[in-house]
Amino acid sequence: MLRPASGKEIEIIKNIIYGELQLRGVDLTSDLLVLDVPGGSHIDIFKPPPSVKRFLSLNLSVGLTPYSLGLYIGFIARRGVFVPSLPLAHELAPYCASGNLARCVYLPPGLEAKFLYGKKIILKDNISDGLVLVLNTLREALGWAVVESLNNKYGGQKRLLRPVRDLGWYLRRGG
């Protein structure tokens, strides 16, 4: 079933995009649609462009549920956790350079390759724990990751970049 996102679902997404990621000055949460498969493990969130909205509204009566559409924002797991998508990573990448998105981490070529294999990376950046958009030095999105602080055996701390979803997933999922 395709339906508009509920207030609660929009709040969950806003908490991540505007709260945790600190995106400013960009509207990403209006007109969101939810694809809700009964019994499914999650719900998919989409932002339709105007022509998609128009086609759907003209054909409401036909009773067909789309499989996918527009900009795929991510999914909300049944336990209420929002996981951002790779298309959203591409959509937001320009906002790292413009300063609208605060939580961005840039990886040099060697670490880029490691990240795209879904491997964890030790970070030199001094960025606080939480979700980040990962880019390469050409400012191209590579995916999403979580920064975690780990205490090392010498009493210091190191920061670990743990991939949430990286572009290599397109190959690993096989098509």
Partner 1 sequence: MEHPKIKHVLSRASQVSEKARLLAGKYGYRPFMVQRYLEILGEEETLRLLEANEKPLPVTLRCNSYLVDCRDLKERLERKGFRLEPLREFSPHGFIVRRAPHPAGATHEYLQGYYYLQGPVSMSIVHAMDLDVDGPLLDMAAAPGGKATQILQLTGDSRLLVAVEKSKRRIKALRSNLQRMRFKNYIIYRLDSRRLPFNNAFASVLLDAPSTGEGIIRKDPRRKTSRSPEDLLEIHRLQVEMLYRALDYVRPGGSVLYATCSLGPEEGELVIDTILRLREDVTIDPISLPASEPPTEYFGVKLDSRVSLCRRFWPHRQGYEGFFACKVRRVER
Catalog residues that contact partner 1 under the rule CB under 8 A: 49, 51-52, 54-56, 59, 62-64, 66-72, 85-87, 90, 112-113, 116, 136, 140, 167-168, 170-171, 173, 175
Nearer Cβ to partner 1, position 2 or 12? Answer: 2
Distance, CA of 108 to CA of 140 (rounded, Å): 12
CB of 118 to partner 1, least distance (A): 12
Q: How near is the Cβ of 116 to partner 1 at its closest, in Å?
A: 7
Alpha-carbon span 164 to 158, nearest angstrom: 19
Task: Provide the minimum distance between the beta carbon of 144 and partner 1 in the complex, in angstroms, as a whole number.
Answer: 14
What gap in Å lies between CA 12 and CA 47, rounded to an integer? 15
- Quote the longest CA-to-CA distance of the chain: 66
Considering the complex, state which of residue 72 and residue 82 has its C-beta at the smaller distance from partner 1: 72
Residues 137 and 122: their CA atoms lie apart, in Å, by 17
